[in-house]
Amino acid sequence: MTKRVVVTGMSVNTVLGDTLETFHDGLLAGRSAISRWKAFPTDRCHSKVGGDLSHYDVAAKVDALQARLPADVHKRLRKLVTRVPWTTGLSMLLAVDGWLDAGLFDADYDPHRQAVVISGHNLNALYQYDTRVQFEEQPNLIGLRSSLYSLDSGHAGCVSEVLQTRGPIYTLGAACASGNVAMRSAVDEIRHHGAQVAMVVGAVLEFAPVDVHAMALIGAIAIESFNDTPALASRPYDTRREGFVPAHGGATLVLEERDAAERRGARIYAEVLACAANSDGSHLPQPHEDGQARVIARGLEDAGLKPSDVEYVNAHATSTPLGDLTELRSLKRVFGSHAARLRINAPKSMLGHCCWSAPTVETVAGLLQMQSGRLHRSINIDQLDPEVDLDVCRDGVVDVPVRVMLKNSFGFGGINCVSLWRKYEG
């Protein structure tokens, strides 16, 4: 029989908070955390707004964790964060928080059967950008370890070193679907490769100014209209939406085989029922209804679910004119008349788009909402797009029990990946 896989630990670090509680509270409060970028100068960028975590004090967080961590783990963490780029340090913090939440520091598991999958690519973009600028000015003053820490594999290696996992570690890039695709691989590590634990780290993408400006030039992100009102810039389903809002943010999901988790008395958040992926056969950043509908239908088939079994969709909903409507059309195509009964909300309306880690961050958001039975509203919908005829939780928090959630993610390069989750009920 296929092994059943559950989530036993989670962590998050976004502009809305760096704990599960503060993150959840911020979502339910309907609070936008989008501001003007401080991480880099924006004087030459058309778009100047984003979800900026550059003020986050990694060293202070490490100090705060000392009482909760085994001494050797804290020692390794403190040593490494002084050396690595900012976003690599955040990956280690997320991993440690997730491990703590899962209670794995006290679990009797074989470290050789613990896997770590980092979702994303080009993660240390600002570090690389600054290194190149320094090289142009004074080549011999670039960081001595820049050849090592510019690599995405550094995230996986550092997480493995801190936690002393000895199983497979790797990074997996699939643009804005990276978090779901990484989770799909983590499930496979447990079902097919003997892992007892598989952690997905949705790493924080550290944007550089050239990345933000380039996305503005192709019309992908919100541009000049909201530079002076950043909290209003991310507005899925609203007639004034003009593009997504890039944002810092990361999260982890700790997966275990259900029977083993129950035997050790772990707290279980939810069971992952399926994770399906496909592609559009087009590299252009243009969503396709056919590909999205097919991957959602495949996910339902793999999970053994009927469309009527799904109550809640944690939407991709990036605040782009075409993307928001394409996703809703895909849902209506798959769910038929049941689509009118779906509850759909848009975490990016508050968080911005965390890009590679967005599926992981938003899965955490969705599972917390399933636990509480309360769905956050989609904010900044001042004038609903006339084509939006489904329930997108526009009017406020919705109190509703949710047993099954669909999490959509669609990435540049024609990459589609969705996951389906069932609330754990013992």
**Could you give the CA distance from residue 264 to residue 255 in angstroms, rounded to a whole number?**
14
Among 275, 316, 355, 376, the one annotated catalytic: 316
Task: Write the CA distances from 245 to 32, 39, 50, 83, 222, integer angstroms.
Answer: 12, 15, 6, 30, 6
Count CB-CB contacts under 10 A for residue 408.
25
Cα separation, 204 vs 14, in Å, equals: 9
Both tokens assigned to 364? 């955490």
CA distance 66 to 76: 11
- Residue 316 among the catalytic residues: yes
Active site residue 176: yes
The dihedral formed by the CA atoms of 116, 117, 119 and 121, expressed in degrees to the nearest 10: 100
Q: Is 158 helix (H, G, I), strand (E, B) or coil?
A: helix
Strands 114-119 and 197-202: parallel
Catalytic, 354? Answer no
Q: CA torsion 137→142→146→147, rounded to 10°?
A: 70
| Bridge partner list, 283 | none
Q: What is the DSSP letter of 378?
A: P
Select which of 155, 248, 353, 376 is catalytic: 353
Among residues 45, 158, 176, 275, which one is catalytic?
Answer: 176
- Which residues are tagged catalytic? 176, 316, 353
